[in-house]
Copies of this chain bind each other. A is one copy, B any other.
Amino acid sequence: MATVIDGRALAKKLNQQTSERVQKMQENDGITPGLVVIIVGDDPASQRYVRNKHRTAQRLGINSIVKQLPESVSEKELLKWVDQYNNDPTIHGILVQDPLPDQINEKDVTRAILPEKDVDGFHPVNVGKLFLNDSTKYPVSCTPKGIMTMFSEYHIELKGKNAVMLGRSAIVGKPMAALMLNQGASVSILHRLTKDITEYTKDADIIVSATGQLHTLTKNDVKVGATVIDVGQNLNEEGHLVGDVDYDDLFDKVAYITPVPGGVGPMTIATLMQQSVDLAEWSIHRDN
């Protein structure tokens, strides 16, 4: 029977720590971490995400600003706002909410954010530092970073282990692979072109799934005692939120598993909050 990795409980604990760090920073340095989320247009899902981030940030004592721009905003105008926040010393983290309308090149926007204010960890220079296992401090994509916190809290060792990353996205797959590699795992990065995923997963100690496909893993695909992390957020036939893997089927065979909902999801937003405070701290004691 698996140990369930309780993302909600961990996120609560992490948020508590973040809140305490905010208080200490205010007391010791007179600084309140500032996070701005720029949102373009009225997409209901995006609005909900942003509201969620805003409320959590406020609750933890972070100075949270939501900058709403119209769907018709030009790239130039959006970049003007990014530039303004780049130059605002009270703002330590800048995030531009996905998705963006067609007239805006997302890559231009990602690169316009100062690397030291890149709270999402998407800027190429931060991605490069991660891949190079750089020893300085830099932000990292929040979902993979949150998963690393899960490993650490549950004492799941990566060194010398066989890890499989299902998916190679810029936001999850690639940074997750780099983080596991940096911790000493052997890492296989698989994706939709991989012919036989089971050939890899059946010997894996750790499997992270970010495929966006239902039934990615069943118990015949994994070995006894594996750890399975499910990043998937899919709707099943009944319209319920489910992950990539067959949770119930795997449950008796694996050692650790994350549920959906209540696993990776809550950790992503808690990690965003943590990293907002990291950026504020690093701005005080810059080492790179």
Let me know if A18 is at the binding interface, CB within 8 A: no
A134 interfacial contact with B, CB 8 Å: yes
B residues in contact with A188, CB < 8 Å: 186-189, 200
Question: A269–B193 Cα gap in the complex (Å)?
Answer: 33
Q: Which residue of B lies closest to A108 (CB)?
A: B288
Most buried by B among A174, A185, A187, A191: A187
**Copies of this subunit:** 2
Complex interface: chain B residues within 8 A of A66 (CB) = none
**Which of A159, A162, A186: most chain B Cβ within 10 A?**
A186
Q: Could you tell me if A189 and B191 are in contact, using CB atoms closer than 8 angstroms?
A: no
* Interface residue total, chain A, C-beta cutoff 8 A: 34
Shortest CB distance A269–B (Å) = 23
- Contact A186 to B181, CB < 8 A, known contacts A123-B128, A126-B128, A131-B128: no
* Interface contact A160-B195, CB-CB below 8 Å: yes
Inter-subunit contact B194/A186 (CB<8 Å) = yes
Point out which of A134, A177, A189, A194 has the most chain B C-beta atoms below 10 A from its C-beta. Answer: A189
List chain B residues, Cβ under 8 A from A235.
none
Is A253's beta carbon under 8 Å from chain B? no
Contact of A193 among B168, B174, B184 (CB under 8 A): B184
Question: Is the CB–CB distance between B203 and A199 below 8 Å?
Answer: yes
A-side residues, CB < 8 A to B, are 107, 123-129, 131-132, 134, 159-160, 162, 168, 170, 174, 177-178, 181, 184-191, 193-195, 199-200, 203
